[in-house]
Structure 1
Amino acid sequence: MSAQDRLKELFRARALQFGDFTLASGKKSTYYVNSKKVLFHAEALTLLGELLYDATKDLEFQAMGGLEVGAIPMAAAALTAFHRNGRHLEGFFVRKKAKEHGAKELVEGQVNAGDKVVVIDDVLTTGGSVVQAIEAVEAKGATVLRVVCICDRLQGAREALAKYDFRPLFTIRDFGIEPPKA
């Protein structure tokens, strides 16, 4: 079984929930993809690291990360995979709100002006959270080369990210779910 097929199997078994949910976008949904049920599973995290490496190994870039909380384990998995493959990579995460003490940073980790970065996120609906992360790293002077998510719910993220190279590992259709009609 391929790494992609096994990760899809783990997501289907561990992350998909059905009921009445309100998403970060504010939209209502009859299903929820709770990636945290998968992102803290050893096999899934290892597979995810491999898939993030495969999705970005063609690029020359300095750092990978995204909005807290989901992007933190994702970045750690990718960094490990890049290291195993002999490539140096920095990680970062973007806070939803800058700390009010210490350095008061919004972006934590190594992202500098002129860096090329990949922004990652777990599950995208409208793309609002990933856009928040993109704006934060671009404000530091970095250039976003690619945006990768684990699952695109097919409800507007691709359109919101039209000017970026957007590559979801899965769409909600890969889990046998049709997105609601717009």
Structure 2
Amino acid sequence: MMHLPGVGSPAVRCIRQYPDAPARSTPSPHMDLTSDQARARLKELYLARAVSFGTFTLASGKTSTYYINSKKVLFHGEAIALLGELLYQATSDLPIRAIGGLEVGAIPMAAAAAMRYHQHGRAVEGFFVRKEAKGHGSKQRVEGDVKAGDRVAVIDDVLTTGGSVLQAIEEVEKIGAKVERVVCVVDRLQGAREALAKYDFRPLFTIRDFGIPGE
């Protein structure tokens, strides 16, 4: 005789096992971390996942004996949660309405920062800047709700000479927004600070924080 759940017998719940599924990560209460704790953990993740040594050609055209592949960190759940909080802490003293930067690296960063602002009870828009305009649609380079008169923070992952973030700044200023601060995750100490001398520039780390001397 078959017993239906709730009819003369307790319900039985079947759980399907997926042996190839990755193990669940342990939730981390990043809301409760101090700035120093969040920074230390993000540094660990960068060293473990993103830093490689060898001979590399950078986006700036320079060659280097090391490379930081931030994409291996920016799409990692714990890392992006930590980064969202650190970007909030680095910009929350400003009256900004939006935060973002040049594709691709700034896209997950802007989303993480906007979400963290929301969790702290403050509304801030995320945006990104295209490297070149699309040939269809609106054809605009600044994607997101950013308009003339807005105060914004411009963000980037790794800066060498500062050329990439200056592209983003130029497009943001073209639409009449005002750049209040520039924040990057890692400054390689190869000219970005000098190129951004007219802006309030605040890296979360310099390459020396990873034990690597500037080149």
Q: What is the TM-score when the length of structure 1 is the normalising length?
A: 0.98
Aligned to 2:162: 127
Aligned to 1:38: 73
After TM superposition, give the deviation of residue 168 of structure 1 in Å: 0.2
Tell me the distance in 2 between the aligned counterparts of 1:81 and 1:90. Answer: 11
Aligned to 2:197: 162
Where in structure 1 do 4 or more consecutive aligned residues deviate above 2 Å? none
Aligned to 1:86: 121
The secondary structure found in structure 1 opposite 2:55 is strand
After TM superposition, give the deviation of residue 9 of structure 1 in Å: 0.5
Number of aligned residue pairs: give it.
Answer: 180
CA RMSD of aligned residues (A): 0.7
Aligned to 1:143: 178
Aligned to 1:3: 38
The secondary structure found in structure 2 opposite 1:37 is helix
Aligned to 1:102: 137
Q: What is the TM-score when the length of structure 2 is the normalising length?
A: 0.83
Aligned to 1:12: 47
Percent of aligned pairs with the same amino acid: 73
After TM superposition, give the deviation of residue 179 of structure 1 in Å: 1.0
Which protein has the larger Cα radius of gyration, Structure 1 or Structure 2? 2
Amino acid at match of 1:153: R
- The one of the two structures with greater contact order (alpha-carbon pairs below 8 A, sep at least 6) is 1
Aligned to 1:60: 95
- The gaps in structure 1 that reach 5 residues or longer are none
Tell me the distance in 2 between the aligned counterparts of 1:71 and 1:115. Answer: 18
Tell me the distance in 2 between the aligned counterparts of 1:113 and 1:78. Answer: 21
Tell me the distance in 1 between the aligned counterparts of 2:111 and 2:125. Answer: 10
Query: What is the CA deviation profile of residues 138-167 of structure 1, one whole-angstrom value per residue up to 9, with x for unaligned ones?
Result: 000000000000000000000000000000
Equivalent of 1:74 in 109, 124, 128: 109
Query: What is the CA deviation profile of residues 56-79 of structure 1, one whole-angstrom value per residue up to 9, with x for unaligned ones?
Result: 010011100000000000001101
After TM superposition, give the deviation of residue 118 of structure 1 in Å: 0.2
Tell me the distance in 2 between the aligned counterparts of 1:4 and 1:179. Answer: 20
The secondary structure found in structure 2 opposite 1:53 is helix
Amino acid at match of 1:119: V
